[in-house]
A and B are shown apart, each in its own frame.
Chain A
């Protein structure tokens, strides 16, 4: 990826994120039996350090649920939840927060959200994207996001981040859902929309 995405390309990616995370929100809502609101997603292509800052306060402790993505457009899906939100999710699933079961319950939420998101994205773009096994860690936001981005961006100049926020109605629980395509993958997402770098 050259690192220069046009506004139109970013708009298109934001719309892809919007529809994909809408599908993911529906799945989560069915799983939890609660309404889930979706905020307008953000799409940004930034140098690594700026991308981490754009994702949130690097010093904040968060719970991250990460899924490697394989297929035509590899990358990662990363869900970030503040610790209080993670406890809320566990409560809604009837699991003791902080227990061993808690991580597996949060991983299951990662499975459901990740699969729904990637399915929706795949059916819009015709691109195959398969979620891997979720991993749950609680650490500094900077450490989590930087590590996932370092793997995704590699030697590319900029990191592309599609960031959606899901809010569970009536609960203090906001889940940030991020798609982090590997460098170069963005073209495969844009080409089916007629907006690949070559034509833009």
Chain B
């Protein structure tokens, strides 16, 4: 939670387990095989500056900077959103999930980054997986993985295609 990971190594797996109201935000440059995953917890930083990935408004620019530093080309970046569930019908977490999703979309819009896929909302937790050179997937507790974006077909990705789900 509030964490961020970036990789440019084909076969590497970035995982956010058990996303409830949180959002797993993946940014990927498919041509360069660079991707990052941020675990966003709250919509707004409200004056806080760290940890950046915790807040949607800070997480988006930070994740962009991190994947670009790892070799991604900014204009090729695509986004995938996973999570943002409404786990509890009432109570303390008054639909933080929907607010998180909205805030992430708004921040991506400001940066001009296209959202390629979303698996957001509902009332179940999800696990987000980014496998560099393979795909980005979402999985419900006890369910099967749903592939949301294929990541194969990168510039030099063929040499080391990971075992698994690439199509």
Contacts and interface: CB of A to CB of B under 8 A. Distances in A.
Contacts of B45: 155
**What secondary structure prevails in chain B residues at the interface with A?**
loop
A66 B88 contact: yes
B165 interface: no
A150 B89 contact: no
Contact of B22 (A75, A135, A147, A152): A147
A147 B17 contact: no
The listed residue with most B CB atoms (<10 A of its CB), out of A61, A154, A155, is A155
Contacts of B142: 61
B93 interface: yes
B91 A139 contact: no
Interface residues of B, number: 36
A150 B95 CA distance: 11
Given A48-B41, A52-B1, A146-B1, A139 B96 contact: no
Interface in B104-139: 123-127
Contact of A48 (B1, B97, B125): B1
B141 interface: yes
A133 interface: yes
B80 interface: no
B77 interface: no
Contacts of A137: 87-88, 123
Given A47-B2, A58-B17, A150-B22, 20 more contacts: A47-B51, A48-B2, A66-B91, A68-B90, A133-B90, A135-B91, A139-B18, A139-B20, A142-B20, A143-B19, A143-B141, A147-B85, A147-B88, A148-B88, A150-B1, A150-B21, A150-B41, A150-B42, A152-B92, A154-B42
8 cross-chain pairs, A with B, having the tightest CB-CB distances, nearest first: A142-B18, A143-B125, A147-B20, A151-B92, A143-B20, A151-B93, A68-B91, A140-B18
